[in-house]
């Protein structure tokens, strides 16, 4: 894939040579696969989907108590959820009971317009409108199942059943011909039947080794239609190499760094970036430490823009805002 000529010539005039990074090649390859469209439909539907997906690829399961705890932290940081709750509105006797708890995966992310219900505790007659619903960050496994099933419809996940023996730890795929009670073929104890959600192999390839390439891909897709952009560039001058996740061109050279971990190594390349970029945009799915952000701001001054976890879907507008300002 040829480079965007505007970006390429701008960098060449400044004495830089450019090449495509491994992550860039991988993302471009992924984008050619038909699954990229389905994955885009799934991931762009709502920020809560992206947050839960991210938690899933980090712990590789969402069933256990620990991973649900971790997920609630992620959702809270990103200020998003697909489960909402409306509490009893009796002001005389606050009973703090959730009377309606919709899962928005079942309603195409729409909150109920009007919902009437009488509180079983205080008998107060509630009428809830959209504004009364607050996001719930502590999800239950039944909520997560709906997340997976929605992904199965888009081929992001597939279902695999397996039988496990907890006496001798033998796992085997589930054969539908066997009777309801399945005994371990080895030790004859009763086996436990489980459901697993397995990622599409192309998506697996994009996210394996915990690289946040899905985020680069996602932000690149967000920007692509609206600005001239490049993915995964290796920029070199005087033997100094800098890797840029995404570079945008709108008369201004805007470098976007996508972060999916708390790793702070990007700080080391900011001084070099400061020399040729007009702006540096940091898009992060995790909340970064305050002093890290302050260090970045010290180096780049007004060139530094931070897109926090809850604003990712809005990245392009934030970027367009900065290029209008100047």
Report, in Å, the least distance between residue 184 CB and Zn ion.
Answer: 3
Binding test (CB under 5 A) with Zn ion, winner from 149, 159, 160, 168:
168
List Cα–Cα distances, 159 to 9, 12, 298, 320, in angstroms. 48, 49, 49, 41
Closer to Zn ion by Cβ: residue 47 or 191 = 191
The strand order across the sheet containing 98-100 reads: 98-100, 84-87, 133-135
Determine, following the binding rule CB under 5 A, whether residue 119 of this chain makes contact with Zn ion: yes
Determine, following the binding rule CB under 5 A, whether residue 167 of this chain makes contact with Zn ion: yes
Span near Zn ion by CB under 5 A; candidates 74-82, 83-91, 204-212, 219-227: 83-91
Burial zone of 33 (CB within 10 Å; 0-12 exposed, 13-18 middle, 19+ buried): middle
- 290, 292, 293, 299 alpha-carbon torsion, rounded to 10°: 140
Binding test (CB under 5 A) with Zn ion, winner from 186, 208, 240, 241:
186
- 37, 42, 46, 51 alpha-carbon torsion, rounded to 10°: -110
Binding test (CB under 5 A) with Zn ion, winner from 28, 95, 111, 152:
95
* Tokens 């201004």 belong to residue: 252
At 283, is the secondary structure helix, strand, or coil?
A: strand
Report, in Å, the least distance between residue 93 CB and Zn ion.
Answer: 7
At 51, is the secondary structure helix, strand, or coil?
A: helix
Determine, following the binding rule CB under 5 A, whether residue 86 of this chain makes contact with Zn ion: no
Span near Zn ion by CB under 5 A; candidates 119-127, 212-220, 229-237, 264-272: 119-127
Report, in Å, the least distance between residue 118 CB and Zn ion.
Answer: 9
Helices H, strands E: what count in the chain? 11, 14
Determine, following the binding rule CB under 5 A, whether residue 275 of this chain makes contact with Zn ion: no
Determine, following the binding rule CB under 5 A, whether residue 117 of this chain makes contact with Zn ion: no
Report, in Å, the least distance between residue 84 CB and Zn ion.
Answer: 18
What residue ranges bind Zn ion (CB under 5 A)? 88, 90, 95, 119, 121-122, 124, 165, 167-168, 170, 184, 186-187
């Amino acid at each position: 894939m040829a480079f965007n000529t505007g970006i390429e010539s701008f960098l060449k005039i400044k004495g830089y040579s450019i090449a495509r990074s491994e992550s860039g090649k991988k993302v471009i390859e992924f984008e050619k696969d038909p699954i990229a469209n389905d994955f885009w439909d799934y991931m762009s539907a709502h920020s809560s989907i992206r947050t839960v997906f991210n938690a899933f690829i980090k712990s590789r399961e969402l069933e256990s108590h620990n991973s649900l705890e971790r997920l609630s932290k992620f959702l809270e940081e990103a200020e998003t959820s697909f489960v909402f709750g409306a509490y009893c509105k009796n002001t005389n006797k606050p009973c703090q009971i959730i009377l309606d708890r919709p899962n928005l995966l079942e309603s195409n992310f729409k909150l109920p317009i009007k919902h009437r219900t009488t509180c079983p505790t205080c008998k107060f007659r509630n009428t809830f409108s959209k504004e009364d619903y607050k996001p719930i960050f502590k999800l239950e496994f039944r909520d997560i199942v709906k997340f997976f099933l929605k992904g199965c419809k888009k081929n992001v996940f597939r279902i695999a059943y397996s039988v496990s023996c907890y006496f001798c730890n033998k796992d085997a795929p589930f054969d539908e011909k066997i009777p309801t009670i399945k005994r371990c073929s080895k030790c004859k104890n009763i086996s436990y039947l489980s459901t697993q959600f397995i990622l599409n192999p192309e998506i697996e390839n994009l996210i394996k080794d915990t690289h946040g390439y899905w985020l680069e891909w996602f932000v690149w897709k967000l920007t692509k239609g609206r600005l001239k952009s490049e993915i995964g560039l290796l920029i070199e001058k005087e033997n100094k190499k800098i890797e840029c996740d995404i570079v945008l061109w709108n008369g201004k050279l805007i470098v976007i760094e996508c972060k999916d971990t708390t790793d702070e190594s990007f700080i080391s390349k900011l001084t070099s970036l400061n020399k040729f970029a007009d702006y540096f945009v940091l898009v992060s799915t995790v909340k970064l430490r305050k002093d890290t952000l302050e260090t970045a701001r010290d180096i780049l001054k007004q060139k530094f823009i931070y897109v926090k976890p809850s604003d990712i879907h809005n990245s392009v507008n934030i970027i367009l805002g900065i290029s209008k300002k100047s």
